[in-house]
Amino acid sequence: DVKVTQSSRYLVKRTGEKVFLECVQDMDHENMFWYRQDPGLGLRLIYFSYDVKMKEKGDIPEGYSVSREKKERFSLILESASTNQTSMYLCASSFGGAGSNQPQHFGDGTRLSIL
C-alpha cells in the first residue's frame, strides 16, 4: 500500500529555532512536494523536487529550504522559525514521467506551532 510518512503529527517550537520536518515515501516516487495549509487559503506549494538533489521553488518559498539527499526522503527546513510559520504542513509524492493522471499521495500532515 502507498505510504507517505511525516515524522511528527504535532510539533511546538520557539521563534528563531531551526526546524526540520521530515518526510519519507516507500513508493519509489520521483516527485516530492511540501505544502502548507491555512484556513481559507487551501494548500500552497512551498518547494518540490523531481529527483535526488534537485529542488524547485514553489509559490511561497521564503523562509524555507529543502533537502533531498535520497530518493525516498524530502526534508523541509525552517531556517529561523517565526510565528507566521505556524501552520499545517503536508508532504506529498507522485510518480514522475508517467503521465498527467498520476495523483499525488499525501502524508498525514504535521501541525507546527511556533511560540
Partner 1 sequence: AQKITQTQPGMFVQEKEAVTLDCTYDTSDQSYGLFWYKQPSSGEMIFLIYQGSYDEQNATEGRYSLNFQKARKSANLVISASQLGDSAMYFCAMREGNFGNEKLTFGTGTRLTIIP
Instruction: Name the site residues for partner 1 (rule: CB under 8 A).
Output: 9, 31, 33, 35, 40-45, 48, 50, 58, 88, 90, 92, 94, 96-97, 99-109, 111
Query: Taking a C-beta distance cutoff of 8 angstroms, is the pair 3, 108 a contact?
Result: no
CB of 100 to partner 1, least distance (A): 5
Q: How far apart are CA 54 and CA 99, in angstroms?
A: 20
CB of 49 to partner 1, least distance (A): 10
CB of 89 to partner 1, least distance (A): 11
- For residue 111, the tally of other CB atoms under 10 A from its CB is 15
Closer to partner 1 by Cβ: residue 17 or 51:
51
Closer to partner 1 by Cβ: residue 16 or 74:
74
Closer to partner 1 by Cβ: residue 58 or 63:
58
Maximum Cα–Cα distance for the chain, whole Å? 42
Query: Taking a C-beta distance cutoff of 8 angstroms, is the pair 36, 59 a contact?
Result: no
Query: Taking a C-beta distance cutoff of 8 angstroms, is the pair 93, 32 a contact?
Result: yes
Closer to partner 1 by Cβ: residue 3 or 14:
3
